[in-house]
Amino acid sequence: MEARNKIERPRFDQITKHVTDSLNLRMFVGTWNVGGKTPHRGVNLREWLKSPLTADIYVLGFQEIVPLHAGNVLGPEDCSRATKWLSLICQALKGNRHDDSDLPANHNDRQQPSKSHLDSISIEDQHDRKSSEIFWGLNPDSCSSEENSSVHVRHRFCLAASKQMVGIFLCVLVRADLYQHISSLKASCVGTGIMGYLGNKGSVSISMTLYQTTFCFVCCHLASGEKDGDAIRRNSDAMEILKKTRFSHPCKILGKPVQPDCILDHE
């Protein structure tokens, strides 16, 4: 074609994308089946969330945040316990109250995230940046890696997304300066419980793009038991989750990256 149509081949440097600087980030990912129990006032999650070096992103999944009786499975969503767990997460990241003495005078200290923020994204809706809680966070036992000192490193964190299905609750909290670089936030819920589709078992998944990298976080509650066949049921649940999880996106725009539709499409 080049010879026949006399098309000049572009130089190599014209068709090669410029390599940009990489960004190294740390992510803390945790999961906890809380057995349907309401967190008591003295619960402190700092021991769970602490790490030798400060994390930039926290992804926390819970199972059985509500008892899995018929009223919770078939009735309206009970967000009150998710509110309490999220409040405890915020307190753990904030650190001790007296550490906030050097905050700016105009800082609005909101310790209790409002109920609306617990479902900050839906299966269809785009992420609303104005709806996120922003708070000061202090990673316990974190220190400056450059100076190798015991000075605590202070960060601001915000709730990027959260989603609940019956007793499954998944939330993603990010450093505030990274928040503006998150896009294409979507959620998908798959029920694999009673009758094969109710939400007492199943998954909640959150899809997002950070800069140009796509992430998918999946919080599962699979079939229980240690009898013969129970492992097969769990594997079957996992296959259903992989098959049925879908993230809806608006119509594809020419020149824009194609967003992932399912779990395995993500990087």
State pLDDT tens for residues 176-231: 999 999 999 999 999 998 888 888 999 999 999 999 999 999 999 999 999 999 99
100, two tokens: 């906030």
Other C-beta atoms lying within 10 Å of the C-beta of residue 125: 13
Q: What number of other Cβ atoms are within 10 A of residue 183's Cβ?
A: 16
- 242 by Cβ neighbours in 10 Å (0-12 / 13-18 / 19+) ranks as middle
Q: Report the distance separating Cα 39 and Cα 64, nearest Å.
A: 12
The verdict on pTM exceeding 0.85 is no
Distances (CA, A) of 178 to 2, 57, 167, 224: 45, 9, 29, 37
The whole-angstrom separation of Cα 259 and Cα 255 is 12
pLDDT tens track, the chain, 267 positions: 344 555 555 554 554 555 567 889 999 999 999 999 988 878 889 889 988 888 999 999 999 999 888 888 888 888 889 999 999 998 888 863 334 333 333 333 333 433 333 344 433 333 333 333 333 333 333 322 333 333 345 678 899 999 999 999 999 999 999 999 999 999 999 999 888 888 899 999 999 999 999 999 999 999 999 999 999 999 999 999 999 999 987 766 666 778 899 999 999
